């Protein structure tokens, strides 16, 4: 399983939706429940956030690859989680 990083801001409405979509995807698809996500709050950890190439939150990285940046829909969250399961 590949590691997942999620860069977010706690006051971002798109980020709050993404967090809800993660919970929904894991509840609907038990195989996705095993996917761990390292959550990095951008304003609390700017030293980490500044080492990654993105402009908008939420941003997902799977391994070292940026797989999504900006507003997100439930099916896109599921795709991110499934990508983490790929060998």
Buried b or exposed e, range 47-59, using 16+ CB within 10 angstroms = eebeeeebeebbb
What is the predicted pLDDT for the residue at 31? 96
pTM: 0.94
List, for residues 35-84, the tens digit of each pLDDT value. Answer: 999 999 999 999 999 999 999 999 999 999 999 999 999 999 999 999 99
How many alpha carbons lie under 13 Å from residue 7 in its C-beta half-sphere? Answer: 24
Q: Give Cβ neighbours of residue 43 (< 8 Å, ≥ 6 apart).
A: 9, 10
Of 79, 35, 84, which Cα lies nearest the Cα of 62?
84
- Record the tokens describing residue 29, joined without a space: 């698809």
Residue 86 contacts residue 2 (beta carbons within 8 Å): yes
pLDDT, position 46: 96
Mean pLDDT of 8-17: 97
**Is a pLDDT exceeding 90 seen at residue 22?**
yes
Residue 26: φ, ψ to 5°: -70, -35
């Amino acid at each position: 399983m590949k590691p997942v990083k999620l860069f977010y801001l706690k006051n971002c409405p798109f980020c709050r939706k993404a967090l809800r979509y993660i919970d929904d995807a894991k509840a609907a698809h038990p195989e996705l429940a095993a996917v761990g996500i390292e959550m990095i709050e951008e304003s609390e950890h700017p030293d980490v956030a500044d080492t990654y190439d993105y402009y908008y939150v939420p941003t997902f990285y799977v391994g070292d690859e940026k797989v999504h940046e900006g507003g997100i829909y439930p099916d896109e969250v599921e795709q991110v989680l499934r990508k983490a399961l790929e060998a």
